[in-house]
Amino acid sequence: MHTKNSTYYNLHQFKIFFADFKGDILVAQAAIFFTAGFEANAATIAFILYELAMQPHLQTRLREEVLDAMDKNEGTLTYDGVRDMEYLHMVVSEVVRKYPPMPILDRVPNRDYVIPGTNITIEKGTAVYVPLLGLHMDPAVYPGPEHFDPERFSEKNRTTRHPFMYLPFGEGPKNCIGT
């Protein structure tokens, strides 16, 4: 018998998937990699350079962190070296708060969904949009939201907010694969 977890069943599903992997579905994969992968990064880098140019003292601090990291690795940047750069992380986090390349998340439920703790049902097939830019610019959560301030993402400060008030990479099983 071919149960849902059997190897036969999985290979069968795999074959169906690849048999359908053509036309619009194929083009959509290339398009998502360009828009989600390439364009999101290009926009983020452009806004980092803009904000650092507007506040050169932030640029100096970040530059010192980069130089320190290189000093520790015989003048080169390594993957681990970049991962350890706390201030770089804070700067990038603040950029994608203020300029999220994808300001809206979208979902379509494949079954009726009751929002837990309420009697509100989102019916199957209803388009649901989450305006994450609105969350990122909420002055109750991010005071003076137009001001670019990487300190919002220091280790201490970032734990003071509800995690779902910051969604630059989405959330759940369909979130960004590039994070």
- Determine if 52 is a binding residue for ligand HEM (CB under 6 A): no
Comparing CB distances to ligand HEM, the nearer of 87 and 101 is: 101
Comparing CB distances to ligand HEM, the nearer of 42 and 53 is: 42
Residue 164 in marked binding region: no
Comparing CB distances to ligand HEM, the nearer of 130 and 141 is: 130
Binders of ligand HEM in range 25-44 (CB under 6 A)? 32, 36-37, 40-41, 44
CB-based contact 120:128 (threshold 8 Å):
no
- Determine if 96 is a binding residue for ligand HEM (CB under 6 A): yes
Give the binding-site size for ligand HEM (rule: CB under 6 A): 19
- Determine if 169 is a binding residue for ligand HEM (CB under 6 A): yes
Residue nearest ligand HEM, Cβ-based: 170
- Determine if 101 is a binding residue for ligand HEM (CB under 6 A): yes
DSSP letter string, the chain? ---TTSHHHHHHHHHHHHHT-SHHHHHHHHHHIIIIIIIHHHHHHHHHHHHHHH-HHHHHHHHHHHHHHHHTTTT---HHHHHT-HHHHHHHHHHHHHS-SS--EEE--SS-EEPTTSS-EEPTT--EEE-HHHHHT-TTTSSSTTS--GGGGSHHHHTTS-GGG--TT--STTS-TT-
| Whole-angstrom distance, CA of residue 58 vs CA of residue 103 | 25
- Determine if 176 is a binding residue for ligand HEM (CB under 6 A): yes
Residues annotated within the binding site are 176
Known binding residues for heme are: 176
Q: Which residues bind ligand HEM (CB under 6 A)?
A: 32, 36-37, 40-41, 44, 96, 101-102, 105, 168-171, 174-178
